[in-house]
């Protein structure tokens, strides 16, 4: 059974007091599961504020959205300096995105951006038609791409299977970013999707939903809650990732409470760390 919020709080009070900036490694800092912030969660805040908030969360990894390192109307020197601000704060840049790569003119710039900033992976939203051109850039730059599935509304890549089928016979650096909320809303099984993706799984976007299967897609999407308060199988997802020795990151993409996201993000990371700790201890 999944551990819900009430069970988490009642079974161990001490676990709720996770230090803001940990002096020792916490579950999710290293080992089989590495937790990250998808900075879309902090879209209402400028880069310096966002960096401080990531530090306050005690997180060492970031999947950076262009709100915090602009890809358009910026020079390579600005990209380099912006990325340096994260690194100077002790935050490793693990991916950028989601980057729209549906137009040919967007593609090389995205790879130049990733190369200059030092992103090893581009989380992206291409069309299948664009994949051969993107594959050439993957080989040229030696940078991975992870196609992000966006649920029932996405006419190109709604499910992880659609992403996997599109890249499975391409360069091994062509892979997936599974968004567990969008995946659940399509009716696909998240754990089975992880198993299917295998070594093509490069990035995970985490959230939780109360009503993912509502036939009204907008209702399902807008039912997001703090991780642990919804119905997504968080424990089983972590177990599947550990079993297949997942090498990527689990990035919290907190899309609610945009004006004050930090309390909910803290609760979500507390829960995720607790679940990871219980699995690894077992």
pLDDT in tens, 261-275: 999 999 999 999 999
Q: What is the pLDDT of residues 148-195, one digit of tens each?
A: 999 999 999 999 999 999 999 999 999 999 999 999 999 999 999 999
Radius of gyration of the CA atoms of the chain, in A: 18
**Domains present along the chain, CATH in parentheses:** 27-70+82-281 (3.20.20.150)
Average pLDDT over residues 48-74: 97
Look at residues 275, 238, 259 and name the one whose alpha carbon lies nearest to residue 49: 259
The whole-angstrom separation of Cα 20 and Cα 22 is 6
Q: What is the mean pLDDT of the chain?
A: 91
pLDDT, one tens digit per residue, over 13-46 is: 333 333 343 434 677 787 889 999 999 999 999 9
Alpha carbon 184 to its chain's center: 15
H helical segments located in 126-256: 131-141, 160-167, 180-185, 190-197, 217-221, 234-243
Report the predicted TM-score, pTM, of the whole model to 2 decimal places: 0.90
Please name the helix (run of DSSP H) or strand (run of DSSP E) that holds residue 77, with its range, or none.
helix 76-88
Tens digits of per-residue pLDDT, 68-105? 999 999 999 999 999 999 999 999 999 999 999 998 88
205 phi and psi angles, rounded to 5 deg:
-110, 120
Are residues 101 and 126 in contact, defined by beta-carbon separation less than 8 angstroms? yes
Beta bridge partners of 225: 208
Task: Give per-residue pLDDT as tens, 211-240.
Answer: 999 989 889 999 999 999 999 999 999 999
Res 1 pLDDT > 50: no
Q: Which residues, at least 6 apart from 167, have a Cβ–Cβ distance to it below 8 Å?
A: 131, 147, 174, 175, 176, 200
CB 184 within 8 A of CB 213: yes
């Amino acid at each position: 059974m999944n551990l819900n919020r009430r069970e988490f709080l009642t079974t161990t009070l001490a676990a709720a007091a996770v230090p803001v900036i940990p002096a020792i490694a916490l579950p999710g800092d290293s080992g089989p599961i590495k937790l990250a912030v998808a900075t879309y969660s902090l879209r209402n805040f400028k880069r310096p504020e966002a960096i401080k908030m990531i530090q306050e969360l005690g997180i060492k990894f970031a999947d950076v959205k262009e709100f915090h390192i602009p890809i358009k109307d910026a020079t390579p020197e600005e990209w380099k300096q912006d990325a340096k601000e994260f690194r100077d704060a002790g935050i490793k840049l693990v991916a950028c995105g989601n980057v729209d790569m549906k137009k040919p003119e967007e593609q090389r710039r995205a790879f130049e951006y990733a190369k200059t900033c030092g992103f090893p992976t581009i989380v992206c939203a291409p069309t299948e038609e664009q994949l051969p051109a993107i594959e050439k850039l993957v080989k040229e730059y030696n940078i991975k791409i992870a196609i992000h599935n966006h649920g029932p509304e996405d006419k190109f890549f709604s499910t992880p299977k659609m992403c996997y089928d599109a890249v499975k016979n391409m360069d091994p650096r062509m892979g997936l970013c599974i968004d567990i909320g969008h995946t659940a809303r399509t009716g696909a099984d998240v754990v089975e999707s992880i198993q299917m993706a295998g070594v093509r799984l490069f990035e995970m976007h985490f959230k939780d939903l109360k009503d993912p299967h509502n036939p009204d897609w907008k209702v399902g999407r807008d039912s997001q809650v703090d991780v642990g308060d919804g119905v997504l199988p968080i424990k089983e997802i972590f177990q599947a990732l550990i079993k297949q020795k997942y090498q990527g990151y689990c990035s919290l993409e907190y899309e609610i409470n945009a004006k004050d996201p930090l309390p909910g993000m803290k609760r979500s990371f507390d829960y995720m760390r607790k679940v990871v700790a219980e699995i690894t201890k077992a």
